Amino acid sequence: MTAGKPEPLVVTLAVDERAQTAWNALRRRWFPPERLHVDAHLTLFHALPGEHLAAILTGSAEVAGGTAPFELTVAGVRSLGRGVALDVVSPALVRLHAALRTRWSSWLTAQDAQPLKPHVTVQNKVAPETAAETLRQVRRDPGPPTATATGLTVWRYVGGPWEFAAAVPFAG
């Protein structure tokens, strides 16, 4: 808790073990070790208000309960300028995010109110030359071409590391 206010909440997409393991391996290889506080992830919301944890868990469960696991496609690898990300494509993911964004619209930061641009950050906050070399390397082997979305995960942001709050599986 910071200054009497609960830490913000991060909501990520949970994926199958094969994809998660491969994405973690990429992140551990390329992410600056001193900044590597969390595993690879696809962030849906960066900073929901921590004081609304119960409502966020309820909303997550309601939406997830009406969502079957679905496929994601790794569409490519892109430069972040000072990092590298895997671009992910999934119409079902865009619909899921839109439903949650509508539900939580009054709580969203400017960043979280934007339409989703799904990606998994492999590397960030490095020199541009390092990022360019990483981009070349990761394009050669970006990991599995698909993943299965299996649910949502809610985390408390505690200054760098995240603290697990809840896993919310999709129906089916």
Chain centroid to Cα 142, Å, comes to 17
Q: What are 74-86's pLDDT values in tens digits? A: 999 999 999 999 9
Mean pLDDT rounded to a whole number for the chain: 96
Q: What band does 172 get if pLDDT is binned at 50, 70 and 90? A: low
Delimit the domains of the chain by residue range. 9-169
Hey, CA dihedral for 119, 171, 155, 27, is it positive or negative?
negative
Q: What band does 19 get if pLDDT is binned at 50, 70 and 90? A: very high
For residue 3, what pLDDT is reported? Answer: 60
Question: CB 24: neighbour CB atoms within 10 A?
Answer: 16
For residue 118, what pLDDT is reported? Answer: 97
Helix (H, G, I), strand (E, B) or coil at 38: coil
**Residues in the chain, overall count:** 172
For residue 4, what pLDDT is reported? Answer: 72
For residue 122, what pLDDT is reported? Answer: 98
Domain 9-169 has CATH 3.30.2350.10: no
Q: What band does 12 get if pLDDT is binned at 50, 70 and 90? A: very high
Residues sharing a CB contact under 8 Å with residue 106, sequence separation 6 or more, in sequence order: none
Stretch 136-165: mean pLDDT, rounded?
96
Alpha carbon distances (Å) from 128 to 10, 32, 37, 70: 28, 13, 22, 35
For residue 5, what pLDDT is reported? Answer: 83
Helix (H, G, I), strand (E, B) or coil at 108: coil
Q: What are 90-126's pLDDT values in tens digits? A: 999 999 999 999 999 999 999 999 999 999 999 999 9
For residue 109, what pLDDT is reported? Answer: 97
Q: How many Å apart are CA 120 and CA 69, to the nearest integer?
A: 18
